[in-house]
Amino acid sequence: MSGTLFGIHLPSSSTISFSEIVSYARRCEDLGFDSVWVADHVMSGVSDGLYEPLTTLAALSGVTDKIRLGTSVLIASLRNPVLLADIAGTIQETSGGRLILGIGVGWDQNEFENLGVPFIRRGTLTDQCLEIIRGFWKGEPLNFKGTDFTVKNAKIGTIPKQPPPIWIGGNSHSAIRRATGYDAWFPTDPSVEEISKRRAELMRLVKTGKKPMTAAHIYLVVDGTVAEAERSATFLSEQTGETLDEIKKWAIIGDAETAKRRISNYVEAGVSYFVFSLPYTPSYEASLERVSRLVSEL
């Protein structure tokens, strides 16, 4: 699988001590993973509270040396795009160019209501945010007039020498359309069939220029035997209400050989970058080591 890269979506619940997250990020770097990622939810709810992702990545950039740092995914429309461009540009510079800005439209209406952002307009707001961010990163004074934001002949404080890649999260047709103009399409929990279908749509929509990479954020539960992995994955059924067979369509669950076969299926469908979420257990670092061995054998 030459050219295929692997990252780890870190547990970033604010119920976990931050020192643990630092330890996991360092371990991922030592094990040779390409990147670590953190999620974004401003309000506590389904997520039980998360450390703010950009602040988290800024902190992790100071305790790691080479591993890339990503948001999976940032809800851009909940933030002022001028500030977001400057903050992300600062992280890019202070980390030595290691930021990957994953951006999505969001789904939790409660967050939007509490932050005074119209939920129904989140797609349009996201498109404007993306245009403003990319515009500022060009380094020239920006003039922008949209339906919701206006920028008049302005420059941000930190213009990154090399703008971070922007990955567009989401599994919908709108996400596919949006991804055509950026660096990667980055769905969460896609099935192999969904990757094949949506990626074909993505390739049709890109008329000229560089085609976006296809990445995937996937739950990975690998253990010594299939039965052990299935027992470890029961929490996914509890969270989603789906049967194990249903979950196996979008999660990779099994022993090492099963996992390798499933990863190969995704690669054949067009995925060239994997970001794995792993069950958060007391043996989380042991899980990281197991996954590192797994991908080294592909």
Across 257-283, average pLDDT: 96
Residue 65 confidence (pLDDT): 98
Determine contact, residues 250/190, Cβ cutoff 8 Å.
yes
What is the C-alpha to C-alpha distance for residues 224 and 50, in angstroms, rounded to an integer? 31
Residue 49 confidence (pLDDT): 87
Residue 149 confidence (pLDDT): 96
Residue 31 confidence (pLDDT): 98
What is the C-alpha to C-alpha distance for residues 146 and 124, in angstroms, rounded to an integer? 10
Which domains does the chain possess?
Answer: 5-222+254-296 (3.20.20.30)
Q: What is the pTM of this model?
A: 0.96
Residue 210 confidence (pLDDT): 85
* Beta-carbon contacts of residue 162 (< 8 Å; ≥ 6 apart): 92, 97
Q: Per-residue pLDDT tens for 24-80?
A: 999 999 999 999 999 999 886 655 789 999 999 999 999 999 999 999 999 999 999
Across 204-230, average pLDDT: 94
Helices (H), the chain: 18-31, 53-61, 81-94, 109-114, 122-137, 173-179, 192-205, 226-232, 234-240, 244-247, 256-269, 284-296
Percent of the chain with pLDDT over 90: 93
> Does the pLDDT at position 180 exceed 90?
yes
Residue 45 confidence (pLDDT): 66
Long-range contact pairs involving 169-174 (C-beta distance under 8 Å, separation at least 24): 169/72, 169/73, 169/102, 169/103, 169/104, 169/217, 170/73, 170/104, 170/105, 171/198, 173/201, 174/105, 174/123
What is the C-alpha to C-alpha distance for residues 61 and 276, in angstroms, rounded to an integer? 20
